[in-house]
Amino acid sequence: MKIIIIGGTAAGTSAAAKAKRTNKELNITIYEKTNTTSFGACGLPYFIGGFFDEPNNMIARTPDEFEQNGISVFTEHEVMRVDIKNHTLQVKNLKTKQIFNDTYDKLMIATGGNPIIPPISNIQLTNFYTLRNMQDGKEIRELFKKKDIKNIVIIGAGYIGIEMVEAAKALEKM
């Protein structure tokens, strides 16, 4: 049986690892749009706040480690189209721009959520960020290092929003 998982961060990679442990014969492929897999976004505020410096500390397993366990991982590959009736995907390699098709028996979509951006006037201002992935975290961390950035506003009171308040406070940005 061939399983394809769209999304290679926390949920997708966890599901792939569990499925492979349950049945070693499964053919599992993960397609991840970014260049980061098995990534815990809950660590982003602590990375931004300087509680640790190495962003790879937020990565549980690399693509090579998944490959060693028989799970194929394709980073920087975006699934462009899903044909549920024919069990096929259209995939784009974001590095080479090559588009190809793949087939599956079972499909899991684990792409995570998108930040809700409230209807705020002047939202096109510079220094307006959302925090969803490793790249966002690196950009915000660099911004927080700037001495001329003295005050920030955090919109959102979920776990990551609250942890971002901690990070901002630690860096004296609030």
How far is 173 from 145, CA to CA, in rounded Å? Answer: 10
With 90 as the cut, is the pLDDT of residue 72 above it? yes
With 90 as the cut, is the pLDDT of residue 40 above it? no
With 90 as the cut, is the pLDDT of residue 173 above it? no
How far is 94 from 80, CA to CA, in rounded Å? Answer: 11
166 within domain boundaries: no
Average pLDDT of the chain to the nearest whole number: 92
With 80 as the cut, is the pLDDT of residue 33 above it? yes
How many domains does the chain fold into? 1
19 within domain boundaries: yes
Please give the pLDDT value at position 25: 97
Region 9-37 average pLDDT: 95
Please give the pLDDT value at position 39: 84
CATH of the domain at 20: 3.50.50.60
| Residue partners of 65: CB distance under 8 A and separation at least 6 | none
Q: What percent of the chain has pLDDT over 70?
A: 99
158 within domain boundaries: no
149 within domain boundaries: no
How far is 8 from 97, CA to CA, in rounded Å? Answer: 20
Whether 82 is catalytic is no
pLDDT in tens, 112-170: 888 888 887 876 777 788 998 899 999 999 999 998 988 888 988 889 999 999 999 99
126 within domain boundaries: no
89 within domain boundaries: yes
118 within domain boundaries: no
With 80 as the cut, is the pLDDT of residue 108 above it? yes
102 within domain boundaries: yes
| Residue partners of 2: CB distance under 8 A and separation at least 6 | 26, 27, 28, 29, 103, 104, 105, 106
Please pick, among 1, 23, 42, 70, the residue that the annotation labels catalytic: 42
Q: Which residue range forms the structural domain that includes residue 62?
A: 2-109
